[in-house]
Structure 1
Amino acid sequence: MPADGLLCVSCFVETSFITDPVCGQCGLPLAEPAPLCTSCDWAPPTFRSARAALQYNAAAKRLILPFKYADRPELAIGLARLLLRPGKELLARADLLVPVPLHRSRLAHRGYNQAGLLARALGRISGTKVMIDALVRLRATRPLSELDQTGRELALKGAIGIREGREAHIAGRTILLVDDVLTTGATASACADTLYAAGAAAVDVLAIARVAEAEDI
């Protein structure tokens, strides 16, 4: 993907961009217009609303997985540009961009936090302030792709914290949480819980891709 975020013709045809109707809270694509999807109606996530650019299919994987796992940090700029359309309203009301954190062991192995690079690139493009280290992973968790929704929530309980000294920058602010892929929303909700506990006024979520059903990412 080039830095301008434009896709070649064949990639564009294969890519599924998310458009309305979507769930008003988690951003899940819906077959028919409705305020909320069934999951959010029964058990809403703790973040206010989420949006994503793409449905997580084979074409989206070809864009995201090299960025995430194949040491291609330069892809952050092009991927961030894909977030401008779905994130227009969220960016307009955001005071601060905050990336979903990686545990230090995974960060050491990968060499960078892809959500952090994405947030930085999006901040430069949109002019929104970024706090790259607002959140911290307090402990490592097993791969969430192995777990169902309840298992993910249990694994993440107490795993996300606020970096010392960052509370004053969070209090009273509208936070836009940035990540590469939104699956069940468990990680985003855990981050939102931590940000609300630090005094955030509201927490929204913006991701490159949205998974319709839990799968290995």
Structure 2
Amino acid sequence: MVYPPRCTLCGVPVESDFGLCGSCWRDTPFVSGLCCDACGVPLLGQDTGTTELCDDCLTIARPWSRGRAALLYRDNGRKLVLSLKHGDRHDIVRPAALWMANAIRPVVTPDTLVVPVPLHWTRLLRRRFNQAALLAHDVSKQLGLPCCPDLLQRTVQTRSLEGLGRDQRYATLQSAITVHPKRRQHIAGRPVLIVDDVMTSGATLSAATQACFSGGAADVCIVTLARVGKDA
């Protein structure tokens, strides 16, 4: 009664907490239907149950087995990501995690461990939170799976990837992410789901995936809140 539910994006009254109004829902680029099995970007055509890959994932060998994204990184999708990442809008985590969980649910198995992409401690100190860790925590709750927020660590303070090309991004992140030595026993022989807010080139997720396999993971899948597509 004191704080009536409002749209997460525009603030107009809605029926339930952490929801979107009809207009914002319509204008939010949710991924549905046929999508790339490796990164989640939507594809043209009907879903026939066979594995389909986008042009990027046909060209670039992805180290993880399967991937999904809840949104495209444009319009309201971009607004949601930036509000969470730079606007301290932690209220976005709850609906975002629900969308991500719904996207990846058919892919994961009951013994999967949910893991966020890590931040270097210096960047974490400046930002005060890791948005991937917040998403991973709520995604794990939605899926009923365990979460290990500090399984991975970023041991190298890399420069910002913004504005870098694909090859530069991969080179920058080479060997920058490792499994925390005190958490290695949690990953040995089990599948892992890596969570991040956005996938652009896939360099960060590739580095995290390779770290998981080096630590003994049996399989790795990925899920992101948003995927940068060609029309983004």
Give the alignment's TM-score, normalised by structure 1.
0.92
2:4 match? none
**Does residue 40 of structure 2 align to residue 27 of structure 1?**
yes
**Does residue 136 of structure 2 align to residue 119 of structure 1?**
yes
Verify the 8 A CA contact 1:137 1:161 in the aligned structure 2: yes
| AA aligned opposite 2:119 | L
Task: Extract structure 1 runs of 4+ deviating beyond 4 A.
Answer: 2-5
For residues 182 and 102 of structure 1, what CA distance do their matches in structure 2 show?
Answer: 15
Verify the 8 A CA contact 1:47 1:192 in the aligned structure 2: yes
**Does residue 166 of structure 2 align to residue 153 of structure 1?**
no
Change (3 A) 1:210 1:198: same
For residues 35 and 75 of structure 2, what CA distance do their matches in structure 1 show?
Answer: 21
Q: Percent identity?
A: 36
**Does residue 117 of structure 2 align to residue 100 of structure 1?**
yes
For residues 63 and 150 of structure 1, what CA distance do their matches in structure 2 show?
Answer: 28
Verify the 8 A CA contact 1:93 1:174 in the aligned structure 2: no
2:23 to 10, 16, 30: 10
Verify the 8 A CA contact 1:145 1:214 in the aligned structure 2: no
Equivalent residue runs for 1:50-129 within 5 Å:
50-93=67-110, 95-129=112-146
Verify the 8 A CA contact 2:32 2:42 in the aligned structure 1: yes
Higher RCO by CA contacts (8 Å cutoff, separation 6 or greater)? 1
2:210 match? 193
Shift of 1:116: 0.4
Shift of 1:143: 1.4
For residues 124 and 27 of structure 1, what CA distance do their matches in structure 2 show?
Answer: 21
Q: Which runs of 5+ in 1 are unaligned?
A: none
The structure having more radius of gyration, on CA atoms, is 2
Higher helix share: 1
1:139 to 149, 156, 176: 156
1:37 match? 54
Give the alignment's TM-score, normalised by structure 2.
0.86
Q: Which runs of 5+ in 2 are unaligned?
A: 1-7, 9-13
Count of aligned positions: 215
